[in-house]
Amino acid sequence: MSPFVVEVNDAHGRQGVLDVGGASVRTPAYIPPDGFCRGVTNVPDAGVCDLWFGRMDGERLRLHPDERERMENAVCERMNRLPSPVRLLHFNFFTDVVGLRQESLTALLLLQHRAGAGVVEIPRVYCTTGMYEQAVLDALAWQRHTGCGAPLMGIARTADDLMMLERYLPHLGGIGLDCRRLDKPLLYLVRRKLKHQDVRVHAFSFPCSYSGMHGREMPGMVIHWFGVDTVSSLTLSEHVRQHFSTTLSGIGGGKGHEIVNEIRPCLSGASCASSVRGPERRSGERRQRSAVV
């Protein structure tokens, strides 16, 4: 389990030290994407690789061994180029993935272990809290069976997710929050349930701004107040931006313009986004096939 010690905890937030694989990270801290880490002189203590994952990726992973091997080698090579001593691999799922078969879950856990991730994320797809709880149980069983020494991190998208994950905290090395959408009940629950525990809380896909916040409620100012210790922002590859563009091309009327304005920072290559979940079907949009992969 990844030790995290809170040293200062007051009304404004908290400070502490996270120990991952013998490397120490003082919190609060921003964990930059791999492209940023490779482009700076002073290498940060931790870095993250974002991996976007859709239905077709899942089918290649499960049904085509040669493509699976190429995919795994490419991810491992990307992680190896990350100069930071603490490395994370985060899965961003498109909304056409509504579940993971046990073999697919195991493959993604093994991929992180093979790539040298300091913390192994339990992937969170677009499914119910009950379905995700089964994934948590399967991941814990996998860890016991393989003897993987890296701690597991559960991902909470909603307050219900967090309530479920709290039951497994003795066996988890931290909680990750999916922050692509503003969920104030989730953030307030983090403050109430986790802020006074030695549990590391990380905010994934953290945006520069939220459309649901106004005035002085800037995310960069308040996220630490809730008890979040480390933060990483959303990044999109050229492949992902093309996926967004293809999806938007099938939306008629003014709705397409509305969505473009909402996700313009990502489409233009920025490292943050305003409330982006990934391509999802809306009124008038062409139907996309969703699947358990």
Q: Are 243 and 54 in contact (CB under 8 A)?
A: yes
Q: Are 241 and 267 in contact (CB under 8 A)?
A: yes
Q: Is the pLDDT of residue 263 over 50?
A: no
Q: Determine which of 49-63, 118-132, 188-202 has the lowest per-residue pLDDT on average.
A: 49-63
- Percent of the chain whose predicted confidence (pLDDT) is above 70: 75
What is the mean predicted confidence (pLDDT) over 45-52? 92
SS3 of residue 7 by DSSP: strand
Task: With CA atoms as reference, report the closest residue to 51 among 170, 205, 209.
Answer: 205
pTM of the model: 0.80
Alpha helices in 152-227 (DSSP H): 159-166, 184-193, 219-222
- Cα within 13 Å of Cα(139), Cβ side: 33
Q: For residue 162, what pLDDT is reported?
A: 98
Q: At what angle do helices 159-166 and 129-146 cross, to 10 degrees?
A: 40
With tokens 């030290």, the residue in question is 17
Which tens digits make up the pLDDT trace of 4-39?
A: 999 999 988 999 999 987 889 999 998 998 888 877
What is the mean predicted confidence (pLDDT) over 99-110? 95
The token duo for 157 is: 């998208």
pLDDT band at 73 (very low <50, low <70, confident <90, very high): very high
Q: For residue 234, what pLDDT is reported?
A: 78
Task: With CA atoms as reference, report the closest residue to 92 among 155, 5, 15.
Answer: 155
Q: Is the pLDDT of residue 1 over 50?
A: no
- Percent of the chain whose predicted confidence (pLDDT) is above 90: 56
Q: Is the pLDDT of residue 208 over 90?
A: no
Please indicate whether residue 249 or residue 115 has the higher confidence score (pLDDT): 115
The mean pLDDT value of the chain amounts to 81
DSSP letter for 33, please: B
Determine the Cα–Cα distance for residues 14 and 196; give it in Å rounded to an integer: 9
Q: For residue 61, what pLDDT is reported?
A: 87
Determine the Cα–Cα distance for residues 158 and 133; give it in Å rounded to an integer: 13
Q: Which residues contact 267 (CB under 8 A, 6 or more apart)?
A: 236, 241, 244, 245, 260
> Domain 4-209+221-235 adopts which CATH fold?
TIM Barrel (3.20.20)
Q: For residue 35, what pLDDT is reported?
A: 81
The token duo for 120 is: 């192994």
What is the mean predicted confidence (pLDDT) over 65-84? 93
Q: Is the pLDDT of residue 233 over 80?
A: yes
